[in-house]
């Protein structure tokens, strides 16, 4: 095994003074909320903000990995080949793996596994807001098979996630259809019962009727 620090450079995200102000033609910036707690980018796209010139080291590029150093879920997201230029903002941490040693998608997968998360649990700091120190992140031990094996592992994991997502959506749809069918049956039976009750009401003749 190797430590994270042995296989990639670690760069803390850009520190922003004050609140970011949206600007249509501003700088594309990735904030913590732009990543999902379980890993991956959140939907909605990356915002653009009014910012002073940002040094190159804070700009992410395809093949980088973003790590959530703050919050209950300290997961990672690999940036694909089509990812646009953007600035990573603290508390995101930029991991730039050596491509000859470790694949970015495999690295993100490893960080998101229970064993790595337990490592972070042991060295997390902060009472109100959980933080992972850079030293703790750097010391994370990672198994490093050959690149082909790493990519296979990452691809199988991606397909497994996709299958789970489809299965979940299918199960939800089935529940909706079942609920609809049961609701329709309940309404039908209720209408039948009401009809039967009205037919069963006896008709009494008034005294003197023939």
- pLDDT tens for each residue of 123-168: 999 988 999 999 999 999 999 999 999 999 999 988 876 676 677 7
The Cβ of residue 28 has, within 10 Å, a number of other Cβ atoms equal to 16
**How far apart are the C-alpha atoms of 102 and 111, rounded to whole Å?**
13
| 3-state DSSP assignment of residue 11 | strand
Domain boundaries, the chain: 2-144, 145-197
Q: pTM of the full predicted structure?
A: 0.78
Give the confidence band of 190 by pLDDT, cuts at 50, 70, 90: confident
State the chain's mean pLDDT as an integer: 89
Per-residue pLDDT, 206: 58
Note whether 70 and 130 are within 8 A (CB). yes
Q: Where are the beta strands (DSSP E) in the chain?
A: 2-3, 8-12, 22-30, 47-49, 59-60, 65-68, 76-78, 86-88, 92-97, 141-142
Torsion on CA atoms 94, 95, 100, 105, rounded to nearest 10: -100
pLDDT score of 96 = 97
Confidence (pLDDT) at 209: 57
Give the separation between CA 99 and CA 38, rounded to whole angstroms. 24
Buried b (16+ CB within 10 A) or exposed e, 138-174: eebebebeeeeebeebbeebeeeeeeeeeeeeeeeee
pLDDT digits (tens, 9 = 90+) for 71-85: 999 999 999 999 999
pLDDT, average across residues 16-27 = 90
Question: Residue 203: is its pLDDT beyond 60?
Answer: no
Structure confidence at residue 179 as a pLDDT band (50, 70, 90) = confident
Q: Which of helix, strand or coil describes residue 133?
A: coil
> Which pLDDT score, from 0 to 100, does residue 201 have?
55
For residues 58 and 128, the model is more confident at 58
Q: What is the DSSP string of 139-189?
A: T-EE----HHHHHHHHHHHHHHHHHHHHHHHHHHHHHHHHHHHHHHHHHHH
- pLDDT at position 19 is 87
CATH topology of domain 2-144: Adenine-n6-DNA-methyltransferase TaqI; Chain A, domain 2 (3.90.220)
């Amino acid at each position: 095994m190797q430590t994270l620090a042995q296989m990639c450079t670690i760069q803390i995200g850009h520190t922003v003074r004050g609140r970011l102000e949206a600007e249509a033609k501003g700088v594309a910036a990735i904030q913590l909320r732009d990543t999902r707690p379980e890993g991956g980018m959140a939907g909605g796209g990356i915002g653009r903000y009014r910012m002073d010139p940002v040094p190159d080291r804070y700009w992410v590029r395809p093949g980088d990995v973003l790590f959530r150093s703050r919050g209950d879920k300290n997961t990672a997201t690999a940036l694909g080949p089509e990812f646009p230029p953007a600035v990573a903002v603290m508390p995101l941490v930029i991991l730039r793996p050596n491509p000859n040693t470790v694949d970015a998608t495999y690295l993100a997968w490893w960080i998101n596994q229970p064993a790595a998360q337990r490592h972070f649990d042991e060295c997390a700091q902060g009472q109100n807001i959980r933080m992972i120190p850079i030293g703790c992140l750097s010391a994370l031990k990672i198994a490093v098979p050959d690149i082909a094996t790493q990519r296979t592992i990452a691809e199988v994991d991606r397909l497994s996630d996709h299958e789970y997502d489809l299965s979940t959506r299918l199960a939800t749809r089935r529940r909706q259809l079942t609920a609809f069918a049961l609701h329709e049956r309940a309404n039908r039976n209720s209408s039948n019962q009401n009809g039967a009750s009205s037919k069963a009401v006896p008709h009494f003749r008034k005294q003197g009727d023939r």
